[in-house]
Chain A
């Protein structure tokens, strides 16, 4: 069980879900995450689960909603344009308080874009593309091993908060291969779901899974209920990593694949005697604003590095609250930034070039 195996990201995500007792998967092919439905088609039935290839992502998210409503432990996955189609479903899942784990293996956009990696779904994931006030819990791993761990955590969180959880990885992590250790098959206690649609069996009144509340006072009360839950999540579920903050002159903020490239750049800068630090958000919602209080007085500027036109930078600015200047560095359209570009930007900020 504890031996290291070399696995492709997408396949590892699927296996991690199965190890965490996921029993239902609904998906539609879209690159660069096709290995997830393919792996699930092969392995999920062997594990006693059900795989359905849906006719579209619109259908897949709604199959997931139905399966979750009926008490199932559900995984769905897609990539950026497919996730765009699922936005309505996310809003419904959140309002109806349905548990579901979603993996977005994100790619460059907008529109059809490319099949190469991107981080331009940050707004879509954290600010919501569906209607109304709702939030997905969004977790952003930076390695396949971390993805495996966070997928397990995602299934826990989705059940305990009755809220969908998104694992936002970019196409690079989905497609790369790394040696990983898989957890043992989860055989722990399942959470009770008295609200699930299972047929009344003549033992209770009928359950209703819904999001419609036509009267203002009813919908406002429901929104208060959801808001209190989101506040609880903000208090309890912030996750981030910091590295080398002490005596740093520049702080980078980066997540996912970009954070690994930044770490490489930090090592190159350290070789030249330039001290830099990293704040790596792991939860994108709730965002780790508190991490920015750990920035020492030695820091003169912050660089937000993303594979997008600059989306997370808005949250970095909120976290900094005007205390330090923050600049954006990025590549997009499927291009991945290099460590050298990060090094050069740091030197520019320090007036060295």
Chain B
């Protein structure tokens, strides 16, 4: 009997507290699968955020450090400087990285820190019950934008991958999605690529992973995947924004959207 799919040893067998259909389960697994396939599990240290995935350390079967809100890139900097031969990654949500943690992520990229950040963008704050995130879409209803996000009051959603791509120290920046098996397949390839670039010590790597939050979006998981496809991808276009050797972030939103 040939194995097509078995759950990776990179994940512990503990049942997760994530909601039914939450894409954290998929994102966690892809990263751990990639590390297992690259035989890096025993050399890896991960940093988990504050957010729904605060308990990621229970599910990811590698040395894990809990971070305070937004500070994961600073903690990863400290860890990577002490253990430069370990594979170090941060796993952060949209509040953690794009709100309270903007200073730390920009400076980690700016210094060209040789770790990889996986940014889970689901356009809402999950753990705290569905408030607006910096990536919440215009018109999207949340508990702090009950009439829908207004550009006048809250500004337009933040495109983190584009922002990070303008920083010289960030050598690999790509945005992927988890809305279908084929997207998930592509996302894993990109995750592996990012880890490879860390192995080559080329600089900072950033993978933005478009995700769902069925509970706080108020829809069934299947509908949430469709909503992501229809609403998030047009504003947060998928694709590579920067690869090693490229010095300018000329792969604009417009350019990629038109592909």
Contacts and interface: CB of A to CB of B under 8 A. Distances in A.
| A/B touching: CB–CB < 8 A | yes
Interface of A: 23-24, 26, 50, 52, 54-56, 58-60, 62-72, 74, 88-89, 92, 96, 197-203, 206-212
B116 to A, nearest CB: 15
Given A66-B76, A201-B43, 9 more contacts: A52-B111, A59-B104, A63-B74, A74-B78, A197-B45, A198-B63, A198-B83, A202-B42, A207-B64
A246 B46 CA distance: 59
Contact of A201 (B42, B54, B81): B42
Interface in B93-122: 103-104, 106-107, 110-111
B117 to A, nearest CB: 14
Given A58-B103, A66-B47, A66-B74, A24 B82 contact: yes
B209 to A, nearest CB: 23
Contacts of B83: 70-71, 197-199
Contacts of A26: 78
Interface in B34-55: 41-45, 47, 54-55
A199 B54 CA distance: 20
17 contacts: A23-B82, A26-B78, A50-B81, A52-B81, A54-B74, A59-B71, A59-B107, A67-B78, A197-B65, A197-B79, A199-B42, A199-B44, A199-B86, A200-B41, A207-B63, A209-B65, A210-B57
B15 to A, nearest CB: 15
A212 B81 CA distance: 25
B74 A70 contact: no
A65 B41 contact: no
9 closest A-B pairs (Cβ-Cβ)? A66-B78, A67-B78, A66-B75, A62-B74, A70-B82, A62-B71, A63-B78, A210-B66, A55-B107
B56 to A, nearest CB: 10
Nearest to B54: A212
Contacts of B68: 62, 88-89, 92
A209 B46 CA distance: 10
Given A52-B77, A210-B66, A67 B86 contact: no
Interface of B: 41-45, 47, 54-55, 57, 60-68, 71, 74-79, 81-83, 86, 103-104, 106-107, 110-111
A54 B110 CA distance: 11
B42 A66 contact: no
Contacts of A200: 41-42, 62-63
A70 B43 contact: no
A117 to B, nearest CB: 29
B86 A208 contact: no
Contacts of B54: 212
B81 to A, nearest CB: 5
B61 A206 contact: yes
B43 A199 contact: yes
A212 B78 contact: no
A67 B41 contact: no
Contacts of B43: 199, 201
B110 to A, nearest CB: 8
Nearest to B60: A206
B66 A72 contact: no
A206 B63 contact: yes
Contacts of B110: 55
B85 to A, nearest CB: 8
Given A62-B75, A63-B74, A208 B64 contact: yes
Contacts of B86: 70, 198-199
A203 B43 CA distance: 11
B63 A64 contact: no
- Choose among A66, A92, A197, A211 the residue with the greatest number of B CB atoms under 10 Å from its CB: A66
A209 B66 contact: yes
B157 to A, nearest CB: 24
- Choose among A59, A202, A207 the residue with the greatest number of B CB atoms under 10 Å from its CB: A59
Contact of B103 (A59, A71, A199, A203): A59
A207 B57 CA distance: 9
- Choose among B41, B61, B64 the residue with the greatest number of A CB atoms under 10 Å from its CB: B64
A55 B42 contact: no
Contacts of A64: 78
Contacts of A72: 78, 81-82
Contact of A206 (B62, B77, B106): B62
B44 A70 contact: no
A213 to B, nearest CB: 11
A212 to B, nearest CB: 6
A153 to B, nearest CB: 23
A182 to B, nearest CB: 25
A284 B78 CA distance: 29
